[in-house]
Structure formats: C-alpha cells, structure tokens
C-alpha cells in the first residue's frame, strides 16, 4: 500500500465531510438557544453569527461572543468550522458582550468631552469658582497658552479620528466606553480646575520654561500626527491584511521609527511632558505618568507582535523609548 501525504489525507477528509449541525447554548445556563441544521463545513464563525442573529435580532454579530468551551477562548470571525475540533454536530457556547459601538464613535466620545470640559473651566462659568471670579479671565499668558494647546490637542485627535485613522470592524462594549470617558473627562476637569484657578501661579522659571516646553509640545504634536499619517498610508498601500511593518519615510518626524516601534506613543508622551512643564501643574504630571504606563503596555504588545510576525524586524528598535524601553 502506498503512503499518502498529510496534504492528500486532508483533501480526502475535506471531500468526505458533510454538512455540520451547529448547536448554540447559553454559556451560563447551558440551555439551547439555537440549532442550525446542515451548515456548510467551510462556513466561518462570522457567518454563523449572522445566522444566529436572524433568530435573535437584538444580538447583532458584534455583540456575540462564541466559544467551544464556556471557559475557553473566544472564536474569531474568520475561524472556519471544519478547521475546529468539532464532529458532525458542533456545540458552541454563547455569551452576550453587551451593547457595542464602533471605534469612531468611541474616540469621538472620549475626545469631545475633554475639549468642552476644559473650556468650561477656562471661561470660569458659574458654580465652578467663587462668584466674584465668574466669567473672569486669568492675567497670566501661560493660562491662555495652555488652553490653546489643550484645545488644539483634542481637535487634532478628532480630525485624526474622522479623516486619518483606519479602523477595523472591531467594537467596544458600552461599559468600557463609560470607563474610558470617565478617565479622560475627569482628568480634564481636574487639571483644568487647577490651571484656570484664580489662585494659579505661573511656572517657576517664567517665560523660559514656558517657551521651551511649548516648543517641545508643538514638535511632539507634529510628530504624533506625522506618524499617524504614515501608519494610515501603510494600511492604504497594503489593504486591511497588510503584512508590512512601518518604516521611516521622507518626513523627518517618522525617522523615530529607526529606534522605536511605536513613535506615535513616544510623541504623545513627549507632548504631555511638555504640557506638564509648561503649566507646572501636578494633576497634569500625574495624567502624563499614568498615560505613559498605559502606552508602554500597548507599545510592548505591538513590538512583540512585530518581532513575532516579521523575521527581519530591526533589532535596534525598542517599544517606546529609544535604546531604553
């Protein structure tokens, strides 16, 4: 008897596979919610979610979390049924992820709040400070400058969200959006309260400190925007399944790609460091520090993904801080 290769056996097995019955159970109660008979073996989990959605209109695909085991990993939309460890009947467990929103809506909600909240404190609307300070303005130019910088920062983010960023079809649960908005909005109110307070005093080293920090802020904001445009162009060239890693372009701001995997985070932190020095405000410094921790986690995850996927990925690059971190 001649030996068959693994590839040939797979072809024969695929040809012999008939249609598969899919049973969807509630992940908590184990009760049957839906039974899909004679599903094509090459159907994807995304297609199964669409079929399930026909029986439960309120449970749109983005809201569904399907697993082969209640405590196992979530199945991806691109997973093919016949490639999963299932027999002629596949048992899949469902969990409701709750209301979901697209990334564009998420970022608009996160960024619009700080933009308007800060302006409320800057114009000293009633019930924030004492009555005699209502609708007054600070005599210090750094306060006006801080308002311009903060406003421009979030306007830039809104412009990037609408015109620059390319989002996948991923979504975020409502509870996570509320948590993120609370973080951004609360910090914006906290730092705006102190920067625009009637008793606020200018930085220790005066105009020198303000101007140097302003220059750092502007350069980092320009660098952050340039990197976002470069990443957007990379996705546009390769499509949604782009298999390239980002590299420096003719724009000097993108040359930071030589040293770090996520220069957009590097520039973001640099801008907030500049804003902290310019205002000499403790709440801003705390916001910067917490942001640095979170962005370092994101950068390390992205850097690890790059090194795992691309064998020729530059060894000199670090996740977020050149030559250090």
User: What does the pLDDT look like over 289-316, one tens digit per residue?
Assistant: 999 999 999 999 999 999 999 999 999 9
Do residues 220 and 169 share a domain?
A: no
Do residues 311 and 211 share a domain?
A: yes
Q: How far apart, in whole angstroms, are the C-alpha atoms of residue 12 and residue 291?
A: 54
Compute φ and ψ for 224, nearest 5 degrees: -60, -45
The total number of structural domains that make up the chain: 2
Cα dihedral across residues 94, 100, 104, 108: positive or negative? negative
Beta bridge partners of 260: 318
Do residues 320 and 219 share a domain?
A: yes
Question: Has residue 16 been placed in a domain?
Answer: no
**Above 60 in pLDDT, residue 10?**
no
Q: Distance from CA of residue 286 to its chain's centroid? A: 21
∠ CA 202-205-209, rounded to 5°? 90
- State which H helix or E strand residue 309 sits in: helix 282-309
What domain range is 232 assigned to? Answer: 203-325
Do residues 210 and 316 share a domain?
A: yes
pTM, whole model, 2 decimals?
0.83
Do residues 245 and 324 share a domain?
A: yes
Q: Which two tokens stand for residue 36?
A: 């899909």
**Above 60 in pLDDT, residue 2?**
no
| 92 neighbors 32 (Cβ within 8 angstroms) | no
Q: Distance from CA of residue 108 to its chain's centroid? A: 12
Q: Tell me what percent of the residues of the chain surpass a pLDDT of 90.
A: 77
Q: What is the pLDDT of residues 15-28, one digit of tens each?
A: 445 789 999 999 99
Question: Has residue 14 been placed in a domain?
Answer: no
Q: Which of 183, 201, 219 is the last residue of a domain?
A: 201
Query: DSSP character for 75?
Result: P
Do residues 236 and 324 share a domain?
A: yes
171 pLDDT band, cuts 50/70/90, is: confident
Do residues 167 and 243 share a domain?
A: no
**Above 90 in pLDDT, residue 134?**
yes
Q: What is the pLDDT of residues 192-240, one digit of tens each?
A: 999 999 999 999 999 999 999 999 999 999 999 999 999 999 887 755 5
Q: What is the pLDDT of residues 238-287, one digit of tens each?
A: 555 557 899 999 999 999 999 999 999 999 999 999 999 999 999 999 99
């Amino acid at each position: 008897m001649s030996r068959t290769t693994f590839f040939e056996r797979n072809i024969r097995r695929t040809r012999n596979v008939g249609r598969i019955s899919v049973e969807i159970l509630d992940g908590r109660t184990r009760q049957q919610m839906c039974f899909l008979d004679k599903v094509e073996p090459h159907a994807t989990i995304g297609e199964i979610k669409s079929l399930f959605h026909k029986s439960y209109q309120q449970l749109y695909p983005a809201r569904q979390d399907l697993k082969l085991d209640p405590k196992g990993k979530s199945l991806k939309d691109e997973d093919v049924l016949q490639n999963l460890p299932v027999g002629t009947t596949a048992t899949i467990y469902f969990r409701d992820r709750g209301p979901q929103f697209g990334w564009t809506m998420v970022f608009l909600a996160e960024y619009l709040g700080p933009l308007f909240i800060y302006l409320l404190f800057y114009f000293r609307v009633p019930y924030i400070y004492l009555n005699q300070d209502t609708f007054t303005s600070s005599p210090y130019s750094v306060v006006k400058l801080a308002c311009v910088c903060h406003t421009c920062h979030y306007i830039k983010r809104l412009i990037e969200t609408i015109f620059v960023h390319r989002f996948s079809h991923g979504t975020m649960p409502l509870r996570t959006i509320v948590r993120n908005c609370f973080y951004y909005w609360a910090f914006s109110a906290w730092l705006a309260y102190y920067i625009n307070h009637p008793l606020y005093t200018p930085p220790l080293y005066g105009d020198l400190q303000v101007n140097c920090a302003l220059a750092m802020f502007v350069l980092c904001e320009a660098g952050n925007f340039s990197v976002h445009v470069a990443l957007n162009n990379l996705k546009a060239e390769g499509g949604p399944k782009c298999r390239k890693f980002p590299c420096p372009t003719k724009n000097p701001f993108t040359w930071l790609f030589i040293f770090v995997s996520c220069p957009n985070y590097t520039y973001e932190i640099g801008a907030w460091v500049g804003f902290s020095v310019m205002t000499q405000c403790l709440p801003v410094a705390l916001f910067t520090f917490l942001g640095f921790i979170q962005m370092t986690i994101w950068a390390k995850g992205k850097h690890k993904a790059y090194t795992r996927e691309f064998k020729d990925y530059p060894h000199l690059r670090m996740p977020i801080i050149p030559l250090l971190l």
